[in-house]
A and B are shown apart, each in its own frame.
Chain A
């Protein structure tokens, strides 16, 4: 999603290799550091804050956020670890692009997002063209 937002062409197979994605088992957020040699600046941490996310958005950098999606009001399945991209903050909602759904962005009330993010120790990552 992030590559597409920057109009960066990429091969999915190459991305899977770069991020060391295990087939069917995913990969950790820290693996974004593998993109540094490809000309990206990367950052990741736990105990993130809304101020961190807002600061990134102010500068044009969406954040990849780890969430327990069962806390989202639109989520119909049991608790699941999931990653969404925060693309905006407006009024009482955080706007996210969720790769599980065809349409975007989705509006999530701050309280629900906070619970979902808290369950994942407020972990997030940012990648940006260097």
Chain B
């Protein structure tokens, strides 16, 4: 696995010779891909359905984390720009929400949105349209809250 590694909180001279020796042992409890997916779920649930995690970098500091860049995306153009990042503990897989400035992400997304072309509804290629599908008319049955309780029990 290739990963970009960033070193944080390393004491360096202002100029002149420098030497860095690193020996840190840790367990990769969550892969970069898993970290990105976990962040995507967090974004969808808690931040916005218009943001997406990008390829993480490994950050070696007091804590070793995956730093997941967060992109603002638009359905008619794709990724528009980076709006922030959030860290994920590399061993536990825990998302560290305090490392994300959510309000700043919203503000940055709003700025980027000003650069977008207008949204237009698109035509889907006909081969992907579901045609001649028998519709099963179903009226909502039961109570969603009761059904959820059964899901939680199982």
Interface residues of A (CB under 8 A from B): 6, 22-30, 41-44, 46-47, 52, 55-61, 66, 68-70, 73-74, 77-83, 88, 90, 93, 95, 98, 100-103, 105-108, 118-123, 126, 128-130
Asked whether B144 lies within 8 Å of A43 as measured between CB atoms, the reply is yes
Query: How many Å from the CB of A54 to the closest CB on chain B?
Result: 12
Interface residues of B (CB under 8 A from A): 37-38, 40-52, 72-79, 105-106, 109-110, 113-114, 121-125, 128-130, 133, 136, 138-145, 147-148, 151
In the complex, what residue of chain A is closest to B83 when comparing beta carbons? A25
The one of B44, B145, B148 that contacts A66, using a Cβ cutoff of 8 Å: B44
Asked whether B124 lies within 8 Å of A25 as measured between CB atoms, the reply is no
Contacts of B139 in A (CB 8 A): 60
Asked whether A81 lies within 8 Å of B144 as measured between CB atoms, the reply is no
In the complex, what residue of chain B is closest to A27 when comparing beta carbons? B48
The one of B49, B144, B151 that contacts A27, using a Cβ cutoff of 8 Å: B49
Q: List 14 A-B contacts (CB under 8 A).
A: A25-B106, A29-B49, A58-B138, A60-B140, A66-B44, A68-B40, A80-B78, A81-B40, A93-B130, A102-B122, A102-B123, A120-B37, A120-B41, A130-B143
Query: How many Å from the CB of A27 to the closest CB on chain B?
Result: 6
A75 to B124, CA, bound (A): 9
Asked whether A46 lies within 8 Å of B45 as measured between CB atoms, the reply is yes
Asked whether B79 lies within 8 Å of A101 as measured between CB atoms, the reply is no
The one of B110, B125, B144 that contacts A126, using a Cβ cutoff of 8 Å: B144
Asked whether A60 lies within 8 Å of B141 as measured between CB atoms, the reply is yes
Asked whether A25 lies within 8 Å of B110 as measured between CB atoms, the reply is yes
Query: How many Å from the CB of A8 to the closest CB on chain B?
Result: 12
The one of A43, A81, A126, A129 that contacts B73, using a Cβ cutoff of 8 Å: A81
The one of B78, B125, B136 that contacts A74, using a Cβ cutoff of 8 Å: B125
Asked whether A83 lies within 8 Å of B109 as measured between CB atoms, the reply is no
Asked whether B140 lies within 8 Å of A28 as measured between CB atoms, the reply is no
